[in-house]
Amino acid sequence: MRIVVLTGAGISAESGLATFRDPGGLWQRHRPQDLATPEAFARDPDLVLGWYDARRAQLADVAPNAAHHALARLDAAWPHDFLLVTQNVDDLHARAGARRMVQMHGALKQARCEGCGAVHEWAGPMPRATPCPACGAARLRPNIVWFGEMPMHMRRIEAALEAADVFVAIGTSGTVYPAAGFVEALRPGARSLELNLEPSAVAHRFSETRQGPATTLVPALVEELLRG
């Protein structure tokens, strides 16, 4: 049985990271067009770099929660195809030990050179005009997918979705494509579950929805799957 799991900001909420669209969320306090678009970066690179520096620094103060650990357990124990697709740019899935995982919106702790394309692990601040460690050009940016840019790893994700027998969406509002459309890419007969505090915008597309916090629902689902 082949499994694909999609996660959104809701899986990291109980670790203390703000989501985007919940009350008090990041997009309740900032405008995406001011911080998460190529135009914003061109217009005010210091503002954009400073915002990502702050979000990157916050990762030191949070830890994976029971939901991240449960998915890492499933990844390690599942003897068939498994892919964890996260929209999150935090490092909590990786720190929980996820292996078969792709970050389709990039990662806070990576920098990408717009000159040579090299991607570098990046833990600290990224001031403007930081030279690329590979080519020396002062053209580093956060390796984050901004609005209007192509998500990453889409060919691998699409192949996994077409083959999936079970698709689980966890903690995502179902408002941003292409991730919100993944449930519609499944073959007929595949089982789809949505785990969320409340029904997402695409809840009606799922064969089953469960309401509750990820730290309760995800470990329970993983035990069900591993028990067979």
Q: Which residues are catalytic?
A: 105
Regarding 197 and contact with ligand APR (CB under 6 A), the answer is yes
Regarding 219 and contact with ligand APR (CB under 6 A), the answer is no
- Residue with smaller CB distance to ligand APR, 20 or 122: 20
Q: Which residues lie closer than 8 Å to 185 by C-beta, 6 or more apart?
A: 158, 161, 162
Q: Alpha-carbon distance 190 to 47, whole Å?
A: 44
Could you tell me the smallest distance in angstroms from the CB atom of residue 56 to ligand APR? 15
Rounded CA Rg of the chain: 18
Q: Alpha-carbon distance 98 to 140, whole Å?
A: 27
Regarding 165 and contact with ligand APR (CB under 6 A), the answer is no
Strand ranges in the chain using DSSP code E only, listed in sequence order: 3-7, 82-86, 101-103, 106-113, 119-121, 140-144, 166-170, 191-196, 208-211
- Residue with smaller CB distance to ligand APR, 185 or 197: 197
- Residue with smaller CB distance to ligand APR, 22 or 165: 22
Where helices occur in 88-213 by DSSP H, the ranges are: 92-96, 154-163
Could you tell me the smallest distance in angstroms from the CB atom of residue 166 to ligand APR? 18
Q: Which stretch binds ligand APR (CB under 6 A): 106-114, 152-160, 181-189, 195-203?
A: 195-203
Q: Alpha-carbon distance 189 to 204, whole Å?
A: 16
Interface pattern 8-47 for ligand APR (x via CB under 6 A) = xxx--xx----xxxx--x----------------------
Could you tell me the smallest distance in angstroms from the CB atom of residue 191 to ligand APR? 19
Contact with ligand APR (CB under 6 A): which of 31, 134, 175, 184? Answer: 175
Q: How many other CB atoms are found less than 10 A from the CB of residue 102?
A: 16
Residues making up the chain, counted from first to last: 228
Regarding 105 and contact with ligand APR (CB under 6 A), the answer is yes
Given the rule CB under 6 A, which residues bind ligand APR?
8-10, 13-14, 19-22, 25, 87, 105, 171-173, 175-176, 196-198, 200, 213-214
